[in-house]
Amino acid sequence: MAEQTVEVEDTYAEAFRSLYAEILVTARDRVWLDHACQAVTGNASSSIFCDCEAGVDRYVGPGGDGSFPTPDGRPGAIIQFHVPRFRKDRVAALERVLLTRISQNILTCPTTACFNLLDTDPYYKLGRKISFFGDGHQFRDERFGRKVWVLPIMGGEFVLDRRFGFADGIMGGNLWFFGETLDASLAATEAGVAAAAKVPGVIMPFPGGIAASGSKAGSAYKFLFASTNHPFCPTLREKLGDASQVPPNVRSIMEIIINGRSLEAVSEATQAAIAATRTFPGLVKISAGNYGGRLGKSWVWLRPELHQEAAG
């Protein structure tokens, strides 16, 4: 029996521009590297109520992507941090994110070091600011062919680059997976996350890469600027009647949010996730969230071939 291909709606994910930083964290082994990654990306799923959106792009060096060697030859992880570009304080906000998270979560983690991956001008003099923790005993040095600050700490030394760059990125790429059951939508979305994660240059900031509580702009409450996307809540189908946008055979909708260094990277990850899930059992439809261009102008088409043909 031939596999059934699910519908991929002819729509787009309405992404928007971000300001992002990209760092490389290394550690003695994968155990301590994972501890550092989990800590520094904590509480960074959604810019709705977090200071940033952050996640691991990929593991590099020994035990990871061997084509990307780390400066100190140890296991490493590339981590991205995004803040929306429409924030007026975006440059200062991103610096606060890096200053807080590196000093509190990387510096404190045993055996770690921290390096910059974006060679830009302007840049943050982050190494100098964090080095003040050395209480006058910190010093500048050149290690691994890089200009670094070295902080004496009780566990030995903490080494980090002097400068950290920042650049324009993309936030808000997304995919929605409509399932006949919760298990079906979750399993398909997990497969989508695994496929998208193989694309360099992107992160999926929600827990396990998946958001179970997709949101809409605005709320019935004046003190909230985002709330549950009620037209797509399966348990509200009968209550909402014709206002519901949940198909009759759908019981659960899971979402992947994809941020990245470029629209091209986010689009590639989107297509990888779609290709990995189009024949998934119990999956009814793949779609995405958009707001008619009110949120952002970086559109990630789910079926780009149709629009390439139209443009041609």
Q: CA geometry: angle at 302 spanning 208 and 256, to 5°?
A: 10
Residues 158, 183: one domain? no
Q: Are 204 and 193 in contact (CB under 8 A)?
A: yes
**Tell me: the pLDDT tens digits for 190-215?**
999 999 999 999 999 999 999 999 99
Residues 202, 74: one domain? no
Percent of the chain surpassing pLDDT 90: 91
Q: Which of 127, 149, 167 is the last residue of a domain?
A: 167
Residue 1 in any domain: the answer is: no
Residues 91, 205: one domain? no
Residue 162 in any domain: the answer is: yes
Q: CA geometry: angle at 79 spanning 75 and 83, to 5°?
A: 170
Residue 173 in any domain: the answer is: yes
Q: How far out from the chain centre does Cα 264 lie?
A: 15
Residue 2 in any domain: the answer is: no
Q: Which of 167, 202, 227 is the last residue of a domain?
A: 167
Q: Are 97 and 81 in contact (CB under 8 A)?
A: yes
Residue 49 in any domain: the answer is: yes
Residues 23, 163: one domain? yes
| Residue type at position 24 | L
Distances, alpha carbon 149 to alpha carbons 5, 122, 142, in Å: 54, 19, 8
- The answer, yes or no, to whether residue 292 has pLDDT greater than 80, is no
Residue 167: the pLDDT is 98
Within 8 A by CB and 6+ apart from 23, the residues are 78, 79, 81, 98, 102, 114, 115, 116, 117, 164
Rounded Cα–Cα distance for residues 33 and 30 (Å):
5
pTM of the model: 0.95
Residues 267, 280: one domain? yes
Stated as kind and residue range, the H or E segment containing 283 is strand 283-287
Residues 154, 258: one domain? no
How many domains are there within the chain? 2
- The answer, yes or no, to whether residue 289 has pLDDT greater than 50, is yes
Rounded Cα–Cα distance for residues 46 and 161 (Å):
28
Residue 3: the pLDDT is 64
14 forms bridges with which residues in the sheet?
Answer: 299
Within 8 A by CB and 6+ apart from 94, the residues are 19, 20, 21, 52, 81, 83, 166
Residues 291, 205: one domain? yes
Residues 108, 211: one domain? no
Distances, alpha carbon 91 to alpha carbons 18, 47, 87, in Å: 10, 15, 9
Q: Which of 116, 147, 167 is the last residue of a domain?
A: 167
Q: Which CATH number do you get for residue 32?
A: 3.30.70.520
Domain span holding position 136 = 19-167
Q: What is the CA radius of gyration of the chain?
A: 21
Residue 203 in any domain: the answer is: yes
Residues 26, 163: one domain? yes
**Mean pLDDT score of the chain:** 95
Residues 38, 158: one domain? yes
Residues 54, 79: one domain? yes
**Tell me: the pLDDT tens digits for 138-193?**
999 999 999 999 999 999 999 999 999 999 999 999 999 999 999 999 999 999 99
Residues 150, 131: one domain? yes
